[in-house]
Structure 1
């Protein structure tokens, strides 16, 4: 067990079951909900001791071809969705990958928080950062969209928080302000890109902080006042439609945070095998991914009893009746410990949320059905790093 593995000490809060009748009250409740979500992650003191565990390698034998039955099932699921999607499923132990448009580039949106976390944990392994060290966030450290931490940045003293808790907010709740602060602490987007390259992870990109990527996607340039999301949304709404059209078209044509489903599945499989970080850092990341509260109706909704999921979602903006960057990626572990890395990515979709959910649930169920029919052997416990059981929670 990792010497610094955190334990949630959640406090149960009763919530009033009041039906909100007006839009004004509803907006207030939404803001309050974000603030309380930030409070539910109790700050933890992390006693991190780096153990120079050797890399945990999978078999060097060449990966066998993807199972024909699973490949055919994934193709049927993708075709049935009616819009372009990317799907990749990799066996963490044997290394095969079944995919549909797995080499195509899709916008990641918040999936890219995984690679920021990877760079942070590499810095911890290198003793350049410590999970116990604190940073202070001020008004200028706010980001855009979902950032419950921003409501806790008050006055000249700001908010002092540990890197461990920033990691928790970024991976468990997908807090954009937490993620952007982690990028700054690790040395900037270029450092994250360098970690990706040094680890030979193909088909992955970051693109910058959330606030820079999101403002450019909207057709704006970042300004400090946009840290108040309502101001950002006002500025975006004031743009001519053709400006927003062109900005979004530019983003989709060459997403700065683009990645391929195959690349993501391969990176997650390598993380699970312990090839990317020390054992302690690997466990810490997987634990946080296992507690992710977002995407309750995506891959998680397809997880059968006895299975567990450690994952990260991505959700982009809506414009002209379409949604951009609707993703869920993660590690799906069977009752016997056999693990599959899974990536489901949608570039742009006009399908209703129910259809998006069916797509992702269908992929998870396809993997589970394949495992049940194939009788895959259990993953060797000394070879594969284990993750914490899935913790429930509200999705975004």
Structure 2
């Protein structure tokens, strides 16, 4: 298993961190597993844990009503945008959490983020729950603006203004900003740190049994990244996961990730993280790396 992970990581044309943590036995193997790499939408996992923690403490209920307004809209993938009219869109915490975790909706996630207290609250939760090796960024809008070399403006809510402003930047300006981000990601986390958080979630030490089951169920129902780690599954195996995808510049992709809890037919569990910080290889090659890491884990049970 160690040789397989080292071989997959070492043979990949790009900057990647891989970690596999046996949730039930405790062992950990990794390739570049301690490096801080961009999380992108993997960070939605920490927002979700903070939301369910607030539910456990009685500070929040999944049935609490929420009105999403046009000023709440973010950038990039946000399916909820189509539902937000001039008077907003009335929904609840449960639906927003489902949108964030199963469809990776950026606006659903950001609304929940600020409902639980913003980035400071997420960082405090990570420290309180002893999830080491994971930091949290400034929120979706500011993160994506900084990564592109811009400063977020409220009138960009919805994304088109941001995209137009980004398109006006020179390649050199965007390249400088992107390299600055990759050198010290604002939302950085290590593959080892992410698998630690996943292991604690699976063991039930982060949340109540009901909240743990609800969140892991949403991760199993995720519709994103079907050709990433999920493509390596064999019959009887299950994956509860969260993907992440960052910005591209030219032929370089950043923050292309998949992390999750892999469960064998006999119930044995592994936390797996494959985090590609940057690469110029094609999407199928990236996806194949992720699927092959899962296949390597599965071989250990055969």
TM beyond 0.5: yes
TM-score (norm 1): 0.75
- Mapped partners of 1:227, 1:145: distance in 2: 11
Using CA pairs under 8 Å that are at least 6 residues apart, name the structure with larger relative contact order, 1 or 2: 2
Alignment of 1:327-338 (within 5 A): 327-338=257-268
Q: Which runs of 4+ in 1 moved over 3 A?
A: none
Q: How far apart are residue 227 of structure 1 and its match?
A: 2.2
**1:226 positional shift:** 1.9
Q: Does 2:120 match 1:194? A: no
Displacement of 1:169: 0.2
Q: Considering only CA atoms, is the larger Rg found in Structure 1 or Structure 2?
A: 1
User: Is 1:133 the counterpart of 2:64 in the alignment?
Assistant: yes
**1:198-236, CA deviations, whole angstroms, 9 ceiling, x for partnerless residues?**
011101111121111001111111122322323221110
Of 164, 168, 174, 1:238 maps to 168
Map of 1:15 onto structure 2: none
Structure 2: distance between partners of 1:336 and 1:264: 24
Residue pair 2:256, 2:276 contacting (<8 A) in 1 also: yes
- 1: CA distance, partners of 2:12 / 2:26: 27
Say if 2:117 is the partner of 1:203.
no
1:257 aligns with 2:187: yes
Residue from 23, 28, 32 that aligns with 1:92: 23
CA shift digits 1:168-195 (9 cap, x unpaired): 0000000000000001100111001100
Q: Which runs of 5+ in 2 are unaligned?
A: none
Provide Cα deviations, 1:267-294, integer angstroms capped at 9, x if missing partner.
Answer: 1011000010000110010000000110
Name the residue aligned to 1:221.
151
Q: Distance in 2 between matches of 1:284 and 1:132?
A: 14
Partner of 2:285: 355
Q: Deviations over 1:229-280 (max 9, x none)?
A: 2322111000122221221111111111100000111110110000100001
Task: Write 1 or 2 for the structure with the bigger share of helix.
Answer: 2
Offset from partner CA, 1:270-323 (integer Å, 9 cap, x none):
100001000011001000000011001100011111100000000001102100
- Provide the residue aligned with 1:108 in structure 2: 39
Q: What are the ranges of 5 or more consecutive residues in structure 1 without an aligned counterpart? A: 1-69, 373-396
What is the rounded CA distance, in whole Å, between the counterparts of 2:55 and 2:269 in structure 1? Answer: 26
Q: Name which of 49, 73, 77 aligns with 1:142.
A: 73
- Find the aligned partners of 2:59 and 2:195 in 1 and give their Cα distance: 28
Q: Is the 8 A contact 2:70 2:158 kept in 1?
A: no
Quick check: 1:294 aligned with 2:202? no
Q: Which residue of 2 aligns with 1:309?
A: 239
Provide the C-alpha distance between the structure 1 equivalents of 2:97 and 2:158, rounded to a whole number of angstroms: 22
The equivalent position to 2:271 in structure 1, one of 312, 331, 341, is 341
Deviation at 1:83, TM superposition (A): 2.3
TM-score by length of 2: 0.98
Matched position secondary structure for 2:300:
helix
